[in-house]
Amino acid sequence: MISNISYMQGVKSLKDIDVSGKRVLIRVDFNVPVDSHNNITDDRRIRMALPTINYCIDHGACSITLVSHFGDPKGGYEEKYSLIHVRKRLERLLQKKVEFIEDFESSQNEIATCSLERVFLLENIRFHEGEKQNDAEFSKKLASICDVYINDAFGTSHRKHASTYGITEFVEIKVAGFLMMREIEAFNKALEHPVHPIALVVGGAKISSKITLLEAVLEKIDKLIIGGAMSNTFLRALGYDMKESLYEEEYIQTARDVLAKAQEHQVKVYLPVDVVITDSIEKSIDIQVVPSQDVLDGFRAVDIGPATVKLFSEAIGLSNTIIWNGPMGIYEIDKFSKGTFKIANAIGDCYAYTIVGGGDTADAVDKASEAENFSFISTGGGASLELLEGKILPGFSNLNRVEK
Ligand code: ADP
Ligand code: MG
């Protein structure tokens, strides 16, 4: 049986087609984080889309229309979700003028009439109702302004929306951009042709959001390292009283099943041996490190402790492939970020193939100044999770395929 990754690797990429003289529409993911003044705090997603955009410019595409969403507006225009905030940075990075199209429906003709070397950026596509509804009429309208459709929005490729999925019904030439191909290649290396031992480091808030991942990869990995609130559910499953810690009562049995399955497949499981506990998350007065078995009354576990950092780091250091998804604690709060940052350092120090999926995890790696030291950091949170879960992402499923 061919894996989801091999299937997605079989799509045509931009380098397989000729874009010269063509009107291309590129679905990018410019959904970048901004601060309260609309300053872009991390432009990685824009930078990662540049190879595809530049390739189209350099190979003589006659017009390039960039389509993206930005945040999740609830219907219609909202200033804070306007892509106008992204345009300047894009112009700076591309070193080229970018024309902003506020309402593509009224500018359809202008875009559709081929004019040499113009780059358009459409306003947030989610201001149109048809986008998230994957509306056929709306998809058709989008399709009408291009000859070639390029999907390079990896971060949104797990969504069946008009600009990521519906549009493919109405365009003949549809391929994946370079970022999409890079992402697939990176996961291919980690999952299909890995160098053993493989460690999966998981954490984050909920076991429920990652259970499919655990079930899908358990047979492929050698070590399972669990931290974050997710480990609270596992520790609870071992019978420890986690007191006020965040854990999922209804997933305790699931945690037991994962442990049993891990044993069956001879996967070594590493759980926190000590945890950082606090009396309150927002207004903590009392913070202590205790063995995982000894969480105090009225306290909650919010990070892994120093002994666990050491334990996890050693297990990580002896691995050749490391996949990380999910922070080890509430890393957004300084006092509870040590565990996550130290694990980021430990993985960054390895001579292994190291890959990060998950929006918060990627953010944590960045904050720990370790981004440079990782082999690959995915630009897709949800998308990378679904990819690890073994799914074929809709953003790839209808693209042209390479003929064998
Ligand atoms: P990712 O986006 O990388 O997939 P998740 O969204 O699954 O990661 O998890 C990240 C969230 O988990 C963070 O907001 C973090 O504060 C939270 N978290 C991690 N550990 C704990 C904990 N012990 N208690 C409460 N929340 C936690
Ligand atoms: Mg998250």
Whether 74 is catalytic: no
Whether 302 lines ligand 1, by a CB cut-off of 6 Å, is yes
Annotated catalytic, 359?
A: yes
Atom of ligand 1 nearest to the CA of 228: 20
What's the DSSP call for residue 195? P
Cβ of residue 330 lying under 6 Å from some atom of ligand 1: yes
8 A C-beta contact, residue 400 and residue 159:
no
75 burial class (0-12, 13-18, 19+ CB within 10 angstroms)?
A: exposed
User: Nearest CA to 395 among 214, 353, 376, 384?
Assistant: 384
189 is known as an active-site residue: no
Strand-by-strand arrangement of the 287-291 sheet:
287-291, 274-278, 300-304
What pLDDT is stored for residue 117 in this prediction? 81
- Predicted local distance difference test score (pLDDT) of residue 110: 80
Distance, CA of 195 to CA of 197 (rounded, Å): 6
Q: Is the distance from the beta carbon of residue 205 to the nearest atom of ligand 1 less than 6 Å?
A: yes
Domain limits, the chain: 4-181, 194-388
Task: For the chain, list residues with pLDDT below 70.
Answer: 1, 115
What type of residue is 329? G
Q: Which ligand sits nearest to residue 384's alpha carbon? A: 1
Report CA(35)–ligand 2 centroid distance (Å). 18
Does the active-site annotation cover 236? no
**Could you tell me the distance, in angstroms and rounded to a whole number, from the CA of residue 382 to the centre of ligand 2?**
8
Find the 354 Cα to ligand 1 centroid distance in Å.
20
Class of domain 194-388 as given by CATH: alpha beta
Residue where the block lists tokens 């894009």: 90
Task: Report the separation in Å between the CA atom of 381 and the middle of ligand 2, taken as the mean of its atom positions.
Answer: 7
Nearest ligand 1 atom, CA 231:
23
- Measured on CA atoms in the order 92, 93, 96, 102, is the torsion positive or negative? negative
CA distance 62 to 39: 31
- The preferred substitution site among 206, 324, 332, 360 for testing ligand 1, maximizing ligand atoms within 8 Å of CB, is 360
pTM for the whole structure: 0.92
CA–CA dist 177, 150 (Å, integer): 6
Query: Which pLDDT score is estimated for 109?
Result: 81
Rg from Cα positions in the chain: 23
Residue 231 beta carbon below 6 angstroms from any ligand 1 atom: no
Domains 4-181 and 194-388 share a fold: yes
Which residue's CA is minimally distant from atom 7 of ligand 1? 204
Nearest one of 254, 259, 234 to 246, comparing CA atoms: 234
For residue 116, the model assigns a pLDDT of: 73
- Counting DSSP H helices and E strands in the chain, the numbers are 15, 15
CB 228 within 8 A of CB 328: yes
The domain 4-181 is placed in CATH, from the list 3.40.50.1970, 3.40.50.11890, 3.40.50.1260, 1.10.3660.10, at 3.40.50.1260
pLDDT at 403: 84
